[in-house]
Amino acid sequence: MYDTNSRMSISKFDYSFKFILVGDTGVGKTSLISRFIDGTFYPNHEYTIGVEYGSKNISIGNKIIKLQIWDTAGQE
Q: What is the pLDDT of residue 23?
A: 82
**pTM (two decimals):** 0.67
| Separation CA 37–CA 47 (nearest Å) | 18
Domain boundaries along the sequence of the chain: 15-72
Which parts of the chain sit beneath pLDDT 50? 1-3, 6-10
C-alpha to C-alpha distances, 70 to 19, 40, 48, nearest whole angstrom:
6, 17, 11
pLDDT confidence of residue 12: 87
